C-alpha cells in the first residue's frame, strides 16, 4: 500500500493516495429502465385553441405570486449538520498536513476537476493539485446516489472524454451510478488520483500580495501555497433544507437526497418525501417500488416531459468505433439545438449527423424585434406546456391529483424534468400526493408531517429540497487584494466577473461554471469544456510572456456584467416564475447565470485576440497586456 503522501522520484512532485474506500456494498442502484408503453413516450396532441392569451397569462401570474416568499431555506448547521455527512465512503485516509507549494490548486473533483486535469496535463501543466470534500471523484455523481438517478442530457453528449476513454454509455440517459463509475475510470486512466487530496475541504483561500501566491487552508490543517487557484467546486453542490417549524422534533429516520442513506431499509415502510423537483421526479417512481406507503409533499409541480429512455444500439457502437471525432461533433450539434426541449429529447438522426436540420427555420416577412421574438418564444413555450399539462390529464386518473400536478409557468423556467414512470406512479394505491400549494409544508412533529390539520405519521422522511444555485460556500471564503472577500464584493456591488471566470481584485483566481459563466447550453459539459480550454490558453499565454499574475481591468468587468444584466432583462419573460435559477425570484438581473452562449464566446474571442481586458504583471512591474 502506497503512503498517502510521497515524492515522485522522476518529477520531484508530491503524489497522493487518499481515495477513500467505499462505505458499504449496499450503495448500488440503477437509472430507470426503458418504458415499453408507447403512450407514455409521446406528448398528447396540442389542445385546440391553445393561445397564451390574457386569461392564461393571468393564471401564470397568479400561480407565481401565490408562491412569492414561500421558499425559505436554512443552512445545514447545528443539529442539521448531520445531513451533510459523507455516507458513501469510509473515514478519511490519515495523512500529514501540507504546507508546501504547487503551481495550480483546483477545488473540486467532479466533471470540472477531471476535465481540467486532462486538459492541463496534456498542455504540460503537471504541478496541479486537487482538493475534494468527498472521498472519491464524481462531484454531483459522487454525492447524488438516490434510486432512479440518471442524467437528463443525453449521455453521449453529456459524458466528457468518451473518445479518449473509448467508453460508450449503456443507455441514452445513463444512470448516476454508471456516471460515477465512468468518473472513476477517467480518474484511473489519466492519473488523476495521484493529484487529489480527498476528504479535504478548502476552508479559506487568501491572496498574499507579497509573494504573489494564494494561501489555501483546509479542514485537514493544510496551509498550502499556489500560484493559481481554480474553483471547480460546482454550482449545485450545497444541499439546502426548507425551513419548517418543528423539523428538529421528528423521531423517525431522515436524510437529504444528496446523502441517500442505504443503511435505512425502506422496504414496506411509510415514507414521506418533501419536494417534487428534478431529484424527486427521478426518485419517486423507484421509491414507490419499495416502500409500503409513500406520501409526496408538493408545493410546486415540475413539468414532466417525456423521457423515451433507450439502450445504446449495436449499430451506434459499430459506427462510433470507426468515426473519429464523433463525440465532440455530437456535443457541438447538441449545443446548437439546446435552447428548447428538443435538446433534451435529442433527435438522434440530427445528433448523429444524418440530417442537417431538425426542422426548417421559420422565414419571417421582416426582421422581428427582440420583443416580438420573445413573444413568439412565449407562445410556443405555452403550447409545449399545454401538451405537458394534457399529459397529466391523460395519465393520472384521480382528477384532484391531476389538477395539482399541472405546472403553470413557462417551460424551462424551473428545471425541466423528464420521466415516463413518474405520472403513472400517482395511480398506485399506496402513493399519495399531498398538495401543500402554494406555501409548502409548514409543520413537522415527532411523528411526521402535519398539513392543513392532518397528521401524516412517517417512519422515514426524505428531504428532496435541492441545492443552493451558484451561492456555494466556496465562493464565500475567498479573500483577494486589500483583504476584500469575493462574498463582500458581490454582495455590495452585485455579481461582477469577466466571462464568469475572473473577478477584478482576485488575481490568478479562475472560476469554472460560476455565475455569468455563460455556456448557452443545457449541457454543463459544454461550459466546463469551454472554460477548461480558456484556462489552458490563459496559462500558456502567461508562460509565453513571462507573466506571473493576471487580473482583469475593472472597466472591462463592469461592461461584461452590464451585458449579462441586459441579456437577463431582455429574456426575463421566459423565466417568469419562482425558481432557484433566479434566486427564488429575488436575484438581481445578470447575477447568477445567463444563457447567452454565442455572446459568451464572442466576448471570449474578443478578449483573447485583443488582450485588452487583462493586466499582466511580471516579477518586477505591472504592464498592461495591450502595451506589451
Ligand atoms: C442530481 C443532478 C443531476 C444533474 N444532471 C445533469 C444533466 O443531466 N446534465 C447536465 O448538464 N448537468 C446536470 N447536473 C448539473 C451537474 O452538477 C453538472 O453537470 C456537473 O456534474 C458539474 O460538475 P462540476 O465538476 O462543475 O461540479 P460538481 O459535480 O458539483 O463537483 C464539484 C465538487 O467540488 C467539491 N467541493 C465544493 N466545495 C469544496 C470545497 N470548499 N473544498 C473541497 N471540495 C469542494 C464538491 O464536493 C464536489 O464534489 C445535475 C446536477 C444534479 C445535482
Residue with CA nearest ligand 1 atom 2: 140
Is 346 close to ligand 1, i.e. is its CB under 6 Å away?
Answer: no
For residue 113, give the ligand 1 atom closest to its CA.
25
Confidence at residue 625, expressed as pLDDT on a 0 to 100 scale? 55
Find the 31 Cα to ligand 1 centroid distance in Å.
18
- Strands 509-511, 223-231: pairing is parallel
Lowest-pLDDT range of 547-556, 572-581, 590-599: 590-599
Q: What digits encode the pLDDT tens for the residues 394-410?
A: 999 999 999 999 999 99
Q: What digits encode the pLDDT tens for the residues 435-478?
A: 999 999 999 999 999 999 999 999 999 999 987 766 666 677 99
Report the pLDDT averaged over residues 337-361: 69
Spatial CA neighbour of 477 closest among 154, 134, 219: 219
Backbone angles phi, psi at 128, to 5 degrees: -120, 135
CA–CA gap between residue 283 and residue 29 (Å, rounded): 11
Residue with CA nearest ligand 1 atom 30: 234
Grade residue 570 by pLDDT with cuts at 50, 70 and 90: confident
3-state secondary structure labels for all residues of 485-550: EHHHHHHHHCCCCECCCECCCCCCEEECCCCCCCCCCCCHHHHHHHHHHHHHHHHHHHHHHCCCEE
Is 131 close to ligand 1, i.e. is its CB under 6 Å away?
Answer: yes
Grade residue 347 by pLDDT with cuts at 50, 70 and 90: confident
Find the 113 Cα to ligand 1 centroid distance in Å.
10
**Hey, what long-range contacts does 34-42 have (CB within 8 A, 24 or more apart)?**
34/171, 34/309, 34/310, 34/311, 35/307, 35/308, 35/309, 35/420, 35/421, 37/420, 39/394, 40/306, 40/395, 40/420, 40/421, 40/424, 41/306, 41/307, 41/308, 41/420, 42/306
Among 224, 233, 473, residue to substitute to test ligand 1 (most atoms within 8 Å of Cβ): 233
State how far the alpha carbon of 113 is from the alpha carbons of 21, 465, 532, in Å.
20, 26, 9
Residue 569 vs residue 620, higher pLDDT: 569
Is 112 close to ligand 1, i.e. is its CB under 6 Å away?
Answer: yes
List of residues 6+ apart from 59 with CB closer than 8 A: 408
Is 222 close to ligand 1, i.e. is its CB under 6 Å away?
Answer: no
Is 238 close to ligand 1, i.e. is its CB under 6 Å away?
Answer: no
Find the 236 Cα to ligand 1 centroid distance in Å.
6
Residue with CA nearest ligand 1 atom 37: 233
Q: What digits encode the pLDDT tens for the residues 56-104?
A: 999 999 999 998 888 788 888 888 889 999 999 999 999 999 999 999 9
CA–CA gap between residue 53 and residue 544 (Å, rounded): 59
Number of Cβ within 10 Å of residue 69's Cβ equals 11
Q: What is the DSSP letter of 46?
A: P
Find the 94 Cα to ligand 1 centroid distance in Å.
26
What is the share, in percent, of the chain residues with pLDDT greater than 90?
Answer: 70
Among 84, 85, 87, 110, residue to substitute to test ligand 1 (most atoms within 8 Å of Cβ): 110
Is 205 close to ligand 1, i.e. is its CB under 6 Å away?
Answer: no
User: What's the mean pLDDT when you consider all of the chain?
Assistant: 91
List of residues 6+ apart from 510 with CB closer than 8 A: 228, 229, 230, 231, 501, 502, 531, 535, 538
CA–CA gap between residue 64 and residue 78 (Å, rounded): 33
Is 174 close to ligand 1, i.e. is its CB under 6 Å away?
Answer: no
Is 134 close to ligand 1, i.e. is its CB under 6 Å away?
Answer: yes
Q: Answer whether residue 597 shows pLDDT above 70.
A: no
CA–CA gap between residue 622 and residue 142 (Å, rounded): 43
> What is the pTM assigned to this prediction?
0.94
Q: Answer whether residue 365 shows pLDDT above 90.
A: no
Q: What digits encode the pLDDT tens for the residues 232-284?
A: 998 877 788 888 999 999 999 999 999 999 999 999 999 999 999 999 999 99
Burial of residue 550 (CB within 10 Å: 0-12, 13-18, 19+) is: buried
Q: What digits encode the pLDDT tens for the residues 92-137?
A: 999 999 999 999 999 999 999 999 999 999 999 999 999 999 999 9
Lowest-pLDDT range of 22-31, 147-156, 448-457, 583-592: 583-592
Amino acid at each position: 500500500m502506497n503512503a498517502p503522501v510521497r515524492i515522485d522520484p522522476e518529477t520531484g512532485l508530491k503524489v497522493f493516495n487518499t481515495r477513500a474506500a467505499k462505505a458499504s456494498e449496499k450503495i448500488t442502484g440503477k437509472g430507470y429502465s426503458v418504458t415499453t408503453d408507447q403512450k407514455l413516450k409521446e406528448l398528447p396532441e396540442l389542445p385546440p385553441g391553445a393561445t397564451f392569451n390574457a386569461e392564461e397569462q393571468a393564471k401564470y401570474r397568479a400561480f407565481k405570486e401565490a408562491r412569492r416568499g414561500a421558499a425559505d431555506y436554512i443552512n445545514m448547521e447545528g443539529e442539521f449538520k448531520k445531513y451533510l455527512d459523507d455516507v458513501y465512503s469510509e473515514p478519511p485516509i490519515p495523512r500529514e498536513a501540507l504546507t508546501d507549494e504547487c503551481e495550480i490548486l483546483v477545488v473540486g473533483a467532479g466533471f470540472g476537476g477531471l476535465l481540467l486535469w486532462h486538459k492541463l496535463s496534456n498542455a504540460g501543466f503537471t504541478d496541479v493539485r486537487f482538493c475534494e470534500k468527498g472521498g472519491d471523484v464524481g462531484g454531483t455523481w459522487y454525492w447524488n446516489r438516490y434510486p432512479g438517478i440518471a442524467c437528463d442530457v443525453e449521455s453521449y453528449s453529456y459524458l466528457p472524454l468518451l473518445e479518449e476513454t473509448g467508453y460508450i454509455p449503456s443507455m441514452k440517459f445513463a444512470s448516476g451510478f454508471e456516471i460515477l463509475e465512468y468518473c472513476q475510470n477517467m480518474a484511473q486512466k489519466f492519473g488523476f488520483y495521484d493529484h487529489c487530496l480527498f476528504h479535504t475541504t478548502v476552508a479559506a483561500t487568501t491572496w498574499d500580495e507579497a509573494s504573489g501566491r494564494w494561501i489555501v487552508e483546509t479542514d485537514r490543517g493544510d496551509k498550502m501555497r499556489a500560484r493559481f487557484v481554480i474553483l471547480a467546486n460546482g454550482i449545485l453542490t450545497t444541499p439546502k433544507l426548507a425551513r419548517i417549524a418543528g423539523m428538529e422534533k421528528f423521531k423517525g429516520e431522515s436524510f437529504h437526497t444528496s446523502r441517500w442513506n442505504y443503511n435505512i431499509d425502506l422496504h414496506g415502510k411509510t415514507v414521506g418525501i418533501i419536494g417534487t423537483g428534478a431529484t424527486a421526479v427521478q426518485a419517486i417512481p423507484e421509491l414507490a417500488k419499495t416502500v409500503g406507503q409513500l406520501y409526496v409533499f408538493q408545493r410546486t409541480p415540475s413539468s414532466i416531459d417525456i423521457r423515451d429512455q433507450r439502450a445504446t444500439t449495436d449499430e451506434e457502437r459499430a459506427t462510433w468505433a470507426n468515426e473519429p471525432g464523433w463525440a465532440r461533433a455530437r456535443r457541438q450539434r447538441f449545443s446548437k439545438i439546446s435552447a428548447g426541449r428538443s435538446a433534451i429529447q435529442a433527435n438522434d438522426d440530427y445528433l448523429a449527423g444524418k440530417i442537417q436540420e431538425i426542422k426548417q427555420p421559420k422565414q419571417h416577412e421582416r426582421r422581428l424585434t427582440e420583443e416580438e421574438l420573445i413573444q413568439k418564444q412565449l407562445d410556443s413555450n405555452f403550447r409545449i406546456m399545454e401538451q405537458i399539462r394534457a399529459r397529466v390529464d391523460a395519465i393520472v386518473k384521480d382528477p384532484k391529483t391531476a389538477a395539482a400536478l399541472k405546472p403553470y409557468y413557462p417551460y424551462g423556467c424551473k428545471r425541466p424534468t423528464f420521466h415516463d414512470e413518474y405520472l403513472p406512479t400517482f395511480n398506485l394505491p399506496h402513493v399519495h400526493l399531498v398538495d401543500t400549494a402554494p406555501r409548502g409544508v409548514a409543520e413537522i412533529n415527532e411523528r411526521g408531517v402535519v398539513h392543513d390539520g392532518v397528521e401524516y405519521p412517517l417512519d422515514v422522511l426524505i428531504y428532496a429540497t435541492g441545492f443552493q444555485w451558484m451561492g456555494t460556500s466556496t465562493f464565500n471564503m475567498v479573500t483577494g487584494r486589500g483583504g476584500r472577500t469575493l462574498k463582500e464584493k458581490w454582495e455590495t456591488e452585485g455579481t461582477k466577473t469577466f466571462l464568469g471566470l475572473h473577478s477584478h481584485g482576485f488575481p490568478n483566481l479562475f472560476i469554472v461554471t460560476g455565475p455569468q459563466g455563460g455556456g448557452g447550453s443545457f449541457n454543463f459539459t459544454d461550459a466546463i469544456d469551454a472554460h477548461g480550454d480558456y484556462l489552458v490558453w490563459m496559462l500558456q499565454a502567461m508562460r509565453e510572456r513571462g507573466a506571473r499574475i493576471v487580473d482583469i481591468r475593472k472597466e472591462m468587468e463592469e461592461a461584461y456584467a452590464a451585458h449579462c444584466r441586459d441579456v437577463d432583462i431582455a429574456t426575463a419573460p421566459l423565466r417568469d416564475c419562482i425558481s432557484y435559477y433566479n434566486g427564488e425570484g429575488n436575484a438581481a438581473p445578470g447575477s447568477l447565470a445567463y444563457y447567452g452562449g454565442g455572446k459568451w464566446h464572442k466576448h471570449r474571442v474578443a478578449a483573447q485576440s485583443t488582450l485588452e481586458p487583462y493586466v499582466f504583471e511580471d516579477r518586477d512591474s505591472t504592464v498592461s497586456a495591450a502595451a506589451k
